[in-house]
Amino acid sequence: MQSKRKPTPGTNPQTRAGTSSRTLWQRQLRLGELLSPQSRLFNIKLQIVESEEYFSLPECHRDLSIGKLKNRLELFVGIPVNFQRIQYLDEADLEDESTLRKHEIVPGGTLTMRIWPEDSWGQLVAAAASGKVKKLQTVGVTQTSSFSTANSRLMTEEKRNDWLAHRAFVALFITAHRGHTRAVEYLLQNGADVKLKTPLGRTALHVAVTSGQVECISILLDSGARVSDEDNEGHNAVQLARLWKQRESERRLFRHRWMIRTVRSSQHQNIK
């Protein structure tokens, strides 16, 4: 088992098991995963192998499916759902349709998340989670990067550009979740698109909001991120801030909206 990486101040994944995360998981149960009186809620742990991070996941239940767990984890740990491989006890991937009950996952048990190995995505996830710009510069997150894989060397120039743009977005999503402001600024300065989304419709702004990374929220908004963009569940950034009890995130979003309205009102008055 890999050693636990020493967390940096203010970004300790273990802190995500506090009041706001507990409220979040309770909220998601209320939205459609109603439990029988006999069901018992419990915590489980998650280790992300590539980034050497540990998270505590509250309010789990035995009938929770792996697919719904992955949906939650996209915002809870900041890893896009299509990169997640969830395992328990061995290195066999758990099927999305299966449940915690089926795999006999016990309270306090540890799930493992691994990243799909193709195209060096695990290397990118590790670099983005670290927040170190020098590491990001080596994993293909800019259009001028010389980074390549066996797969990318077979691509047309257009396909390769799309591939690099997607890598930049994934890195932006992960760094925004962890509050790595320098890395976020570097990615945006080098063309990362704030409007791109995960398969579940989440943007980098969404994940910065739910993780309470107010500085990253400001940077993303200044770079053109849209507060009104909705995920596949119909939630925009303001709604996510409320659902996750992130009051500072919500205040920052409202301040941004107020500033836009003030500018538009001033422009309208000048036209008159």
Residue range 38-53: mean pLDDT, rounded: 92
Q: Which residue has the higher pLDDT, 44 or 8?
A: 44
Q: What angle do CA 213, 219, 223 make, to 5 degrees?
A: 140
Is the pLDDT at 32 greater than 90? The verdict is: no
Give the model's confidence band at 262: pLDDT under 50 very low, under 70 low, under 90 confident, else very high: confident
pTM of the full predicted structure? 0.86
pLDDT digits 0-9 by tens, 193-214: 999 999 999 999 999 999 999 9
Q: Which residue has the higher pLDDT, 13 or 227?
A: 227
Domain with 91, as residue range(s), is 39-117
80 domain residue, yes or no: yes
247 domain residue, yes or no: no
Domain count for the chain = 1
22 domain residue, yes or no: no
97 domain residue, yes or no: yes
Looking up residue 61, the CATH number of its domain turns out to be 3.10.20.90
192 domain residue, yes or no: no
pLDDT digits 0-9 by tens, 103-125: 999 999 999 999 999 999 999 99
- What residue spans of the chain are helical by DSSP H? 19-30, 66-76, 121-130, 133-136, 157-178, 181-189, 204-210, 214-222, 237-243, 247-271
Residue range 138-148: mean pLDDT, rounded: 98
Give the model's confidence band at 80: pLDDT under 50 very low, under 70 low, under 90 confident, else very high: very high
Share of the chain above pLDDT 90, in %: 80
Distance CA 164, CA 172 (A): 12
> Computed over its alpha carbons, how large is the radius of gyration of the chain?
19
